[in-house]
Amino acid sequence: MPWPTIFANLAAGVQPLSLFDAMFTQVAQMCAIPCSAAGTNALTLTPIGAAPTFTSYQNFTSARFVAVNTSTGAITAQFGTLASLNVYLGDLATQAGSGAITIGQEYVLVFVQSLNVGAGGFVLESAAIGGTGSSGFAPQASLLTSGTTFTTPTAGGKLPLYLYVRMVGGGGGGGGDTAGTGGTGGTTSFTNVTNWTTVGGTGGGFSSSTTSPGAGGLGGSGGTSGTGTLVVRITGGRGNDGVVTGSASSSFDGGEGAGTPFGGRGAGIGGATGGAAQANSGSGGAGAGSTATRCGGGGGASEYLEFIISSPAASYTYAIGAAGTAGVGGTNNGGAGAGGAIEITSYWQ
Amino acid sequence: MPWPTTFAKLSAGNQLLALFDAMFTQIAQMVAVPCTAAGTNAITLTPIGNAPAFTSYQNFTAARFVATSNSTAAVTATFAGLTALNVYNGDMLTQAGNGSITSGQEYVLIFVQSLNAGAGGFVLEQASVPATAGFIPVPANLISGVTYTTPLQGGRLPLYLHVRMIAGGGGGGSNNSGTGGGAGGTTSFDSWTALGGSGGQPCPGFGSPGPGGAGGSGGVNGSGVLRRRLAGARGNDGISNAGGPTPRWPGGLGGVGPFGGQGRGVAAGNGGASIANTGCGGAGGGDNGVECGGGGGCGEYVEFFISPPAASYPIAIGAAGAASTGGITSNGAAGAAGRIIVLAHWQ
């Protein structure tokens, strides 16, 4: 297609000057008209100085401006006194909204007739190479071992694209030597509309006779999945049984606690109190060791869980599963289990 | 650089109207000409209405359009009957291809003469503010099957895959006179492999504990970037003690890997099963005498990245090492089978 006029082809003689107007109107349809902007979410664009005004919207007519406010809601724009139209993001379906326009930054609005079911609209362009955060934000890590509210971090005023969450409940405590079952670890929860939970491990048993060692506690299982995407859920391992023997002169370890993917299981200690699990690992404590032939069982490990939450909320409630208490033995106690933990990594891209 | 004509400097008298044409031709070379587009991978651009057609490609001549199809292969474009040229991504080297252009989105093609070793080509621009900051990773937790199909978002394959995988754990050994546990199987993802743990062995007699199985090791790396490779932990030896009266001892614990899930060593009983698909070794057989079996070794663990991913990969999940049999008092437990966790990332 040609320009409206090929001047060399005109017939000799006087021609209307409006031919020039038609040509420059076409030029204006193809340039990004420099404009000043007013408004926050309802933008009004006014050509600067002698910049031309297009008298109707045509496909790909454009206006360039520097934003005077940061948008806080759904955005519309109008050029001069033409109709106010919706402004869309790059998928040409999502209306630009809060935070899509930042004060002081340069933008181009490009008219596309097919938008908004043929009613027409603007595509928001931002070709400038931005400053801080323009290439994205580094992930932020949060390790929760106490408290009840997680406040989602922001970067550049924006909530993350998604949260990646790993969590464990409490580990079971180790059993005592001749008495005292270890306590069961508590449930850890993270509430996103509904609860994501990981169930704690069961405490280890004690030796009830010279022929019955303390049994290892069961691993946690049966937690629930809330809103989001499950990556993996793994049942907790079971604690090891203790030892019994008629040999009174020996020194034996209690049963080892079971570990989670965070490690930290309690170690059996010869003839002594069982080793505690490492704090907030969700692992089980060891059973009581003994020099008198009867050892406790190790505590079970918590269930383990990984999941993803997209478009996160500003905050969430949570609970950290308590550590299973150590079984109180006749001579030696078991080791305490570990409390639970929630590890959250926030990603902006 | 001046315009073709500075009108105030023209000499007096009649001038050619073609001077105006030269001016507007220059303008057409400097703006993004609004166009309609047709074609999927061979795109034809046609100026809209009275928009001008440039008659030859010049550096930075440009055309703006809304795509009518998703590109599915190498992309070329032609403007109003001119030569079809390759379209390149921002590195000016990679030809735009499958998924580079999305139907319904707005683009600008800029001609650059130096592209394609001087033959000329187009740079694909998309300045529009993206609707999202990217796509959420898509996980896959694989415990069976033979093929991983790479997921798509927005019609695109991921930027990279993050893979964690473990082989099968070895079975625990019986307490005495029985068999050793079976070895765990190899887990593989494409040409990456992780080797299974060895089975624990039975106690050969008083004073000689049942040996724990060795952890898996020696798998090979495929195409991609290795993050870490961990040899599997060895299973614990069983206990052996000549002469102790009425003991109740558990068998040796199986080796444990990064997914946890140890099985219980059961006093004077069969080893407890480890948690499914953790790659753990099975516990050895316990004893009420003095001869306990060794625990199975844990499967090897490997973690790696693949970029850019293919549309699919062959996989295999390492089988669990079999439980031992034939023990006088008890047998070891089976190991746990392997697992592959894949996270597909688009940014």
Cα separation, A178 vs B16, in Å, equals: 113
Residue of chain A nearest B32, judged by CA positions: A30
Say whether pLDDT at A66 is over 90.
no
Report ipTM (2 d.p.): 0.78
| CB contacts, 8 Å: B296 with chain A | none
Mean pLDDT of chain A: 91
| CB contacts, 8 Å: B90 with chain A | none
Record: contact A231-B139, CB cut-off 8 A: yes
pLDDT at residue B245, rounded to an integer: 58
Of B27, B66, B260, the CB nearest to A112: B66
Q: Does A27 reach chain B within 8 Å, measured CB to CB?
A: yes
A30, containing H or E segment: helix A18-30
- Close Cβ partners of A262 (under 8 Å, ≥ 6 residues apart): A168, A280, A281, A282, A283, A304, A341
pLDDT, one tens digit per residue, over B74-98 is: 999 999 889 999 999 888 888 998 8
Average pLDDT over residues B104-109: 89
| CB contacts, 8 Å: A256 with chain B | 253
Distance of CA B142 to CAs A3, A65, B137, B224, Å? 61, 51, 16, 19
Q: How far is A147 from chain B (nearest CA, A)?
A: 26
Say whether pLDDT at B243 is over 60.
no
Which position has the token pair 């993206």? B130
Q: Is B317:B342 a contact under the CB 8 Å cutoff?
A: no
pLDDT, one tens digit per residue, over A91-129 is: 888 899 888 888 888 899 999 999 999 999 999 988 766
Mean pLDDT of chain B: 90
pLDDT at residue B206, rounded to an integer: 75
pLDDT at residue A132, rounded to an integer: 52
Q: Does A289 reach chain B within 8 Å, measured CB to CB?
A: no
Q: How far is B125 from chain A (nearest CA, A)?
A: 9
pLDDT at residue A55, rounded to an integer: 82
Average pLDDT over residues B178-201: 97
pLDDT at residue B91, rounded to an integer: 82
Record: contact A247-B247, CB cut-off 8 A: yes
pLDDT at residue A41, rounded to an integer: 96
Q: How far is CA A296 from the centre of its chain?
A: 41
Say whether pLDDT at A134 is over 60.
no
pLDDT at residue B256, rounded to an integer: 93
Of chain A, the end-to-end C-alpha distance in Å amounts to: 43
Residue of chain A nearest B36, judged by CA positions: A59
Q: Testing the interface with A: which of B3, B70, B129, B270 to mutate, by most A Cβ within 10 A?
A: B129
Q: Does A113 reach chain B within 8 Å, measured CB to CB?
A: no
Distance of CA B160 to CAs A34, A67, B70, B342, Å? 41, 36, 21, 10
| CB contacts, 8 Å: B347 with chain A | 136, 349
| CB contacts, 8 Å: A125 with chain B | 127-129
Q: Is B190:B334 a contact under the CB 8 Å cutoff?
A: no
Q: Does B246 reach chain A within 8 Å, measured CB to CB?
A: yes
Query: Higher-confidence residue: B26 or B198?
Result: B198
Cα separation, B278 vs B265, in Å, equals: 17
Q: How far is B86 from chain A (nearest CA, A)?
A: 23
Record: contact B136-A59, CB cut-off 8 A: no
Strands of the sheet containing B339-345, edge to edge, are B138-142, B339-345, B160-166, B301-306, B225-230
Record: contact B260-A259, CB cut-off 8 A: yes
pLDDT at residue A1, rounded to an integer: 45
Q: What is the DSSP string of B252-277?
A: PPPP--TT--PPPPPTTSPPPPPPTT
Of B106, B246, B272, the CB nearest to A123: B106
| CB contacts, 8 Å: B247 with chain A | 243-247
pLDDT at residue B265, rounded to an integer: 85
Residue of chain B nearest A233, judged by CA positions: B141
Average pLDDT over residues B54-81: 90
> Helix or strand or coil: residue A87?
strand
pLDDT, one tens digit per residue, over A199-213 is: 999 999 999 988 888
Of A58, A100, A241, the CB nearest to B267: A241
Distance of CA A174 to CAs A60, A184, A202, A313, B89, Å? 72, 10, 9, 39, 61
pLDDT at residue A95, rounded to an integer: 93
pLDDT category at B2 given cuts 50, 70, 90 is: low
pLDDT category at B224 given cuts 50, 70, 90 is: very high
pLDDT, one tens digit per residue, over A226-268 is: 999 999 999 999 999 998 876 666 778 899 999 999 999 999 8
Say whether pLDDT at B151 is over 80.
yes
Record: contact A30-B267, CB cut-off 8 A: no
User: B249: which 2 tokens?
Assistant: 């001892």
Of A127, A238, A245, the CB nearest to B127: A127
- Close Cβ partners of A74 (under 8 Å, ≥ 6 residues apart): A41, A86, A95, A96, A97
HEC states along B148-206? EECCCECCECCCEEEEEEECCCCCCCCCECCCCCCCCCCEEECCEEECCCCCCCCECEC
Record: contact B28-A3, CB cut-off 8 A: yes
pLDDT at residue B242, rounded to an integer: 60
Closest CA to B28 of A110, A79, A1, A17: A1
User: A81: which 2 tokens?
Assistant: 């006194």
Residue of chain A nearest B344, judged by CA positions: A231
pLDDT, one tens digit per residue, over A175-189 is: 999 999 999 999 999
Average pLDDT over residues A310-332: 96
Residues A65/A68/A71/A74 CA torsion (nearest 10 deg): -60
Record: contact B31-A27, CB cut-off 8 A: yes
Closest CA to A305 of A255, A243, A236: A236
Of B24, B253, B283, the CB nearest to A23: B24
Q: How far is A130 from chain B (nearest CA, A)?
A: 12
User: B216: which 2 tokens?
Assistant: 């898996």
Closest CA to B279 of B320, B251, B315, B316: B320
